[in-house]
Amino acid sequence: MPTGPDIRPHLPALRRYALALARDPDRAEDLVQEALLRALAGARTWRPGRAPLPWLLAILHNAHVSRGRRRALEAAAAGEAARFGPAAVAAPQPERVHLGQTVAALLRLPEEQRAALVLTAVEGLSYKDAAEVLGVPVGTLMSRLGRGREALRAATGREGPSPPERAPAGPALRVVG
């Protein structure tokens, strides 16, 4: 029987990414289970010496894509989430409120932008690894990241990156004789 990498340390990352893709804890757990089955069945495809996380995330992503035709289910899940939204009590801490708004805005993004943001910002993958997981060129990933970040800023009422602080007026260098 072929052996692959130890996947246990990567389960939290797989679960987070599945939750970002599926937007429902039960469907996310089903997606993780399917991805793990595929990883075990295809352990021979893992190349020793290569980091297992991008390989596992690519399997998970492909499992999600192959499930496809979930638009009706996603709409039903979004409707169900919206039904519970108004009954929720707003957190008194502004940071917690902002985090909730950001997560809600992230979940409303198109799947391509959401996946790119989660892989790079949450999971900390390099652009190259994230592009490989998604099966797109690095430039496409960067474009999706840019559009996703801009949509998040617009949805949360935040401006773009603030300009850097300027140093006080005066010479920046001193001439030494």
CATH number at residue 101: 1.10.10.10
Residue 115 covered by a domain: yes
Q: How far is CA 48 from CA 2, 5, 43, 55, in A?
A: 12, 8, 10, 11
Both 72 and 132 in a single domain?
no
Both 98 and 131 in a single domain?
yes
Domain count of the fold of the chain: 2
pLDDT by 10s per residue, the chain, length 177: 446 678 899 999 999 999 999 899 999 999 999 999 998 888 888 788 888 899 999 999 999 988 875 556 667 777 777 776 555 555 567 777 777 888 888 889 999 999 999 999 889 999 999 999 999 999 999 999 999 999 988 888 876 555 455 545 555 555 665
Both 21 and 60 in a single domain?
yes
Both 4 and 45 in a single domain?
yes
142 CB neighbour count, 10 Å cutoff: 16
Range of 137's domain? 92-156
Q: Residue 169 has what DSSP assignment?
A: S
Rounded to two decimals, the pTM is: 0.55
Measured CA to CA, the distance from residue 22 to residue 71 in angstroms comes to 11
Measured CA to CA, the distance from residue 105 to residue 67 in angstroms comes to 24
Both 68 and 4 in a single domain?
yes
